[in-house]
């Protein structure tokens, strides 16, 4: 794993104090500042502070700042706002939009002779291209950043540029001498900058990696050890930098085939990494390195142990990454959906205004014709067909108007539903949580589809197991004192059948975990799915049972309606009764399924 020195330096250059107030409350308070220039400055600073706290609020703040700058006609502020939006779009990994905003910002900075921001813009464009893995174009922009930072004597960005150029020239282009030359220039400048000793030794590790690639292992080891000593003495990044340095050191020893020193460094690094917050990626790399070390020594038992540990950590890291991606996509989707709905509302209102004006004009025309009819009776006869046609058009227009109003009410209903997510009422919050569990029940299916080659079927046994264990944990039960049995004769099930089937099982299991086991010493739950001539789903618990009469009268239960609706959708028949606990059975014809 390469040391991402560019990210560390960027954080050093842009970090700022984050307010302890609620982001939403603070955002609204800034929007209400009456003076435009002060409101702009407050929103841009707030957006920067929120970048690693709530990226959506951060982006919204910068976009509001851009609107203010455009209304003021202030080119400098427009450039700054576009630069900040480009930075936020990079956080969202929307690289196309990020580059567009950053290039527009650079053009403004160049015209307005804003030299420091010119450097920032070219540097950020290079970062985005680097993240986009367009390394050669990124390299051009890093050279451009270096040219500007040297010209305008910005040492911090000069260091950053030298380091970034060195990493790309070495790692990607294999121009090792050129890489070392750039690292040397960066270190020379760093010696004259206060408070950047940790960056100096980060560059030292990058320099060591070049010697490693050149197979000059002793030089690499010497440089990395110096960096580790500094990181240890100064507790840089609460020990994370030291752990990363030990991983680098272990890797070089491994390449040198000094397995004893490689094992020692890697174990020390893993012990440190396990104490760090958010160091899963480093733990994954260290356990894999230890596996390779033991395999090279033919220590099969130790290699197997670290192979298992690596698999667990890697799965955890993958799941964490997927959750972050899903959350990011969900946030972008919801924001786009809201903006689309607002735009549609504006368009509909504009159309309705035109229609209303047309209706009024038509009505006035009709009234005028009725007044004139007393005097122009003969002429009215001649124009009778024309008037009737106008009346028909007016009738059609009024029907269309009613149709538009109905659509508007539907949209308002949807907006109210979205607003309910912010309710603090306990019952409303519980309803939202149950809805979240239903979403999670469906997301489990999609997660399995991502991890399999066949995207049309789901392993229903594994899905039921994941679902049951997830709900068991959510309601405070442990597998050690809970008897869970799942029997499935055919594991593969079509996803169109598995989704409604999963939602039904989710409702039944939720009901059992919530209500069934009070006073039950040995709770148990059985799920049986038979898929022969017909499909039969049975769910049974050994709980207190259900009050059938009360269930029949409970017409407002959403869960009951959901089970009934999904069963009907599948053209199935179900029954729910007491059999030493609650027993549910759903039968579906195979031809229908």
DSSP assignment of 311-362, as one string?
HHHHHHHHHHHHHHHHHHHHHHHHHHHHHHHHHHHHHHHHHHHHHHHHHHHH
Shared-domain flag, residues 202 and 107: yes
Distance of CA 372 to the CA centre of its chain: 68
414 and 432 share a domain?
no
Cα distances (angstroms) measured from residue 359 to each of 276, 348, 352, 364, 396: 70, 16, 10, 9, 10
Contact between residue 525 and residue 485 where contact means Cβ atoms under 8 Å apart:
yes
The C-alpha angle 132, 138, 139, rounded to 5 degrees, equals 145
- Which residue, of 373, 392, 422, is where some domain finishes? 422
Q: Edge to edge, what strands does the sheet with 572-578 contain? A: 483-488, 524-531, 535-541, 582-588, 572-578
Q: Is residue 19 domain-shared with residue 94, that is, in the same domain?
A: yes
CA distance 396 to 537: 52
40 with 179, same domain: the answer is yes
Same domain, 153 and 181: yes
Does residue 485 sit in helix, strand or coil?
Answer: strand
Residue 375 lies in a domain: yes
Cα-Cα-Cα-Cα dihedral of 180, 186, 189, 194, to 10°?
Answer: -130
Neighbours of 342 (CB within 10 A): 12
Q: In this structure, are 340 and 441 located in the same domain?
A: no
Mean pLDDT by 10 residues, the chain (593 residues): 46 42 84 90 89 87 92 93 92 92 94 94 95 93 94 92 93 93 93 88 93 94 93 88 92 93 92 83 91 92 90 80 47 49 56 73 79 70 67 41 36 40 61 66 67 74 86 82 88 84 87 83 89 85 78 65 84 86 86 50
Q: Are residues 58 and 177 in the same domain?
A: yes
Q: How far apart are CA 74 and CA 69, in angstroms?
A: 6
- Per the DSSP assignment, residues forming a β-bridge with 253 are none
pLDDT value for 469: 84
The answer to whether residues 386 and 506 belong to one domain is no
Count CB atoms within 10 A of the CB of residue 518.
9
Which of 385, 402, 422 is where one domain is finished?
Answer: 422
- Specify whether 396 is located in the same domain as 479: no
Check which CATH number belongs to the domain holding 152 and give it: 1.25.40.10
Considering 397, 422, 447, which residue would you say is the last residue of a domain?
A: 422
Q: What is the pLDDT of residue 546?
A: 80
35/112 same-domain check: yes
Question: From CA 577, how far away is CA 584, in angstroms rounded?
Answer: 7
- Do the Cβ atoms of 454 and 515 come closer than 8 Å? no
Q: In terms of C-beta distances under 8 Å and separation of at least 24 residues, what long-range contacts does 141-148 make, across chains too?
A: 142/168, 145/119, 148/115, 148/118, 148/119, 148/122
388 with 430, same domain?
Answer: no
Gap between the Cα atoms of 433 and 427, Å rounded:
10
Count Cβ neighbours within 10 Å for each residue of 405-434 and write b for 16 or more, e otherwise.
eeeeeeeeeeeeeeeeeeeeeeeeeeeeee
Name the pTM for this structure. Answer: 0.52
Q: Give the per-residue pLDDT at 207.
A: 94
Domain for residue 323, yes or no?
no
Residue of 469, 540, 530, 542 lying closest to 508 (CA atoms):
540
Q: Which of 187, 224, 215 is nearest to 203 (CA)?
A: 187
Instruction: Give residue 19's pLDDT.
Output: 42
If you ran DSSP here, which 8-state letter would residue 453 be given?
A: S
The closest alpha carbon to 75, from 103, 46, 107, 43, belongs to 107
Q: Is residue 593 part of a domain?
A: no
Report the number of distinct structural domains present in the chain: 3
Q: Is residue 577 part of a domain?
A: yes
On whether residue 292 sits in a domain, the answer given is no
My answer on whether 385 and 452 are in the same domain is: no
The three-class DSSP label of residue 546 is coil
Q: What share of the chain is helix, strand, coil (3-state, %, to 5)?
A: 75, 5, 20
Residue 273 domain-assigned (yes or no): no
Query: Helix or strand or coil: residue 526?
Result: strand
Residue span of the structural domain in which 32 resides: 1-214
Judge whether 149 lies within some domain.
Answer: yes
In a domain, 360, yes or no: yes
For helices 426-450 and 558-569, the axis angle rounded to 10 degrees is 30
């Amino acid at each position: 794993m390469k040391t991402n020195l560019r990210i560390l330096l960027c954080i050093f250059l842009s970090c700022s104090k984050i307010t302890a107030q609620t982001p939403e409350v603070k955002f609204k308070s800034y929007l209400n500042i009456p003076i435009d220039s002060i409101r702009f400055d407050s929103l841009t600073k707030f957006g920067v502070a929120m970048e690693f706290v709530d990226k959506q609020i951060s982006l919204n703040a910068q976009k509001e700042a851009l609107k203010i700058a455009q209304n003021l006609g202030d080119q400098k502020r427009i450039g700054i706002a576009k630069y900040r939006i480009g930075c936020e779009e990079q956080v969202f990994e929307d690289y196309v939009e990020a580059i567009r905003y950053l290039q527009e910002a650079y053009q403004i900075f160049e015209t307005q002779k804003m030299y420091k921001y010119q450097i920032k813009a070219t540097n950020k464009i290079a970062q985005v291209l680097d993240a986009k893995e367009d390394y050669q174009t990124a390299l051009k922009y890093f050279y451009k950043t270096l040219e500007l930072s040297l010209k305008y004597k910005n040492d911090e960005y000069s260091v950053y540029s030298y380091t970034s150029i060195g990493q790309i020239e070495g790692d990607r282009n294999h121009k090792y001498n050129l890489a070392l030359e750039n690292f040397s220039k960066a270190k020379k400048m760093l010696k004259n900058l206060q408070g950047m000793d940790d960056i100096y030794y980060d560059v030292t590790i990058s320099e060591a990696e070049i010697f490693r690639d050149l197979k000059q292992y002793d030089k690499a080891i010497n440089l990395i050890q110096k960096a580790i000593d500094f990181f240890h003495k100064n507790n840089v990044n609460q020990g994370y930098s030291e752990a990363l340095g030990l991983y680098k050191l272990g890797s070089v020893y491994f390449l040198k085939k000094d397995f004893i020193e490689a094992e020692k460094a890697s174990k020390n690094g893993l012990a440190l990494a396990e104490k760090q917050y958010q160091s899963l990626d480093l733990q994954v790399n260290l356990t894999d390195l230890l596996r390779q070390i033991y395999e090279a020594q033919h220590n099969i038992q130790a290699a197997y142990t670290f192979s298992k540990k690596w698999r667990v950590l890697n799965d955890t890291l993958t799941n964490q990454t997927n959750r972050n991606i899903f959350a990011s996509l969900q946030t972008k989707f919801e924001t786009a959906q809201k903006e689309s709905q607002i735009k549609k509302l504006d368009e509909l209102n504009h159309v309705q205004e035109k229609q209303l004006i047309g209706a009024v004009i038509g009505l006035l025309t009709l009234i005028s014709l009725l007044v004139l009819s007393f005097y122009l009776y003969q002429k009215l006869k001649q124009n009778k067909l024309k008037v009737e046609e106008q009346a028909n058009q007016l009738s059609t227009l009024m029907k269309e108007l009613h149709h538009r109003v109905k659509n508007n009410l539907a949209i308002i209903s949807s907006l109210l539903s979205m607003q309910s997510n912010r309710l603090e009422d306990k019952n409303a919050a519980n309803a939202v949580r149950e809805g979240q569990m239903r979403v999670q029940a469906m997301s489990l299916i999609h997660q399995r589809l991502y991890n399999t080659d066949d995207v049309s079927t789901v392993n229903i046994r594994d899905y039921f197991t994941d679902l049951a264990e997830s709900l068991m944990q959510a309601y405070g039960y442990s597998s050690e004192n809970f008897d869970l049995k799942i029997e499935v004769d055919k594991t593969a099930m079509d996803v169109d059948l598995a989704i409604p089937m999963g939602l039904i099982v989710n409702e039944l299991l939720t009901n059992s975990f919530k209500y069934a086991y009070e006073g039950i010493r040995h709770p148990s739950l059985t799920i049986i799915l038979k898929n022969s001539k017909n499909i039969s789903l049975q769910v049974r618990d050994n709980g207190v049972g259900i009050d059938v009469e009360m269930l029949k009268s409970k017409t407002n239960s959403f869960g009951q309606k959901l089970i009934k609706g999904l069963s009907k959708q599948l053209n199935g028949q179900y029954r729910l009764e007491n059999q030493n606990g609650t027993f549910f059975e759903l039968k579906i014809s195979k031809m229908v399924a």
